Homo-oligomer: A and B are copies of this chain.
Amino acid sequence: MEQPKPRPVTIRDVAALAGVSAGTASKALNNQGQLRQETRDRVLAAAKGLKFRPNETARSLGSERTFTVGLLTTDSIGRFSIPVLLGAEDALAAGTILVFLCDTREDPIRERHYVETLLSRRVDGFIVTGRRSDPRTPLAVDVPVPVVYALTPSSDPADCSVVADDEQAGRLAGEHLIATGRSAIAHITGPASFDAVGNRERGLRTALSSSGLSLVGPGVLYGEWSEAWGRRAAQILLRSGAQFDGVYCGSDQIARGAAEVLAASGRAVPDDVALVGTDNWDILVEGRTPTLTTIDLNLHEVGRRAAQRLLAAIDGEPTQGLETCPSRLVMRESTELQRVRD
């Protein structure tokens, strides 16, 4: 690395080696103009010898597309935007589109700066993602290319957004607890201010009322997205004296905390109490015995679908409105069927 930095090979280098003008070299490489076959061959051989790469930057000037997309995240590439990003990158790479990654850190000025910089680079479109499912205001800049919001929807219903199905997540959890023989189900979850919390609760209540059941315990236990809250909430539930044989937790962290307190108080999971988490976060659901049944929100698929909608819009077939992407139950040990007691 101590040598001077090699500069990229240009068409002028190729022309010089082939003993022709740059214009002739360009015609030969682009298979245009009237050249003798011998001249054309000499240029191609020179290009190969010099490992010349045609400049895609220059080439794309001729077309309308640059085959680049801006991926804006407010989440510092965090726990929730990662699978979305991966899903999007997957779908875009399959379409041979490169991704500019921009972490806006929830700073509107930074976001605006990135959007304008990317527009000056002529990106073909944007995917905007975040850490929450609460709607966000649309991009502040007037954007002349398609935009798709993933995970965090736009508050403008005319925009195109792809999100997780939190209500279905709650319904799946409730239906599964009932299917494994539980009838007294409590709910420990995150802050009531999150849209996801309300939607999961609604789905859970729908599943219960379909079977003639309602939630038990001292109401829904709203709190924090943490193990500490899971422990505290389980203690509250135990001390309330409520009879319960199933708990749906709004996150795997909450479920881990609840599992620890239930075990310490002699309530066996799954025999006495079945537990369902949310997120399918591998290190949490696999880390403890019994392993944790959970709802996977399919965030990778959210990202993939968002990218597919963006590609369609770039190809002139835009869609608008909200698409929800189904979640799925991942069954593990914490909801195995109750053993028959002696």
Query: Residues of A at under 8 Å CB distance from B?
Result: 1-2, 4-9, 51, 53-58, 60-61, 64, 66, 68, 71, 76-78, 82, 85-86, 89, 93, 96, 98-103, 116-122, 142, 144-146, 158-160, 226-228, 253, 256-257, 260, 283-284, 286-289, 313-314, 316, 318-320
Contacts and interface: CB of A to CB of B under 8 A. Distances in A.
A46 B20 CA distance: 42
Contact of A1 (B71, B77, B159): B159
A206 B71 CA distance: 46
Contact of A320 (B2, B82, B93, B99): B2
Contact of A120 (B55, B146, B257, B260): B55
B71 A61 contact: no
A331 to B, nearest CB: 19
Given A4-B316, A257-B287, 20 more contacts: A1-B159, A1-B160, A5-B145, A5-B146, A8-B144, A53-B116, A53-B120, A56-B121, A57-B60, A57-B61, A57-B121, A57-B122, A77-B82, A78-B82, A98-B100, A98-B117, A100-B100, A101-B101, A227-B283, A253-B287
Contacts of A100: 68, 98-101
The 6 tightest CB contacts between A and B, nearest first, are: A227-B287, A101-B101, A1-B318, A1-B320, A56-B120, A6-B144
A61 B109 CA distance: 28
Contact of A2 (B145, B159, B318): B318
Nearest to A110: B93
B1 A158 contact: yes
Contacts of A313: 1, 5
User: Which has the most chain B C-beta neighbours within 10 Å: A7, A57, A100, A227?
Assistant: A57
Given A146-B5, A160-B1, A103 B89 contact: yes
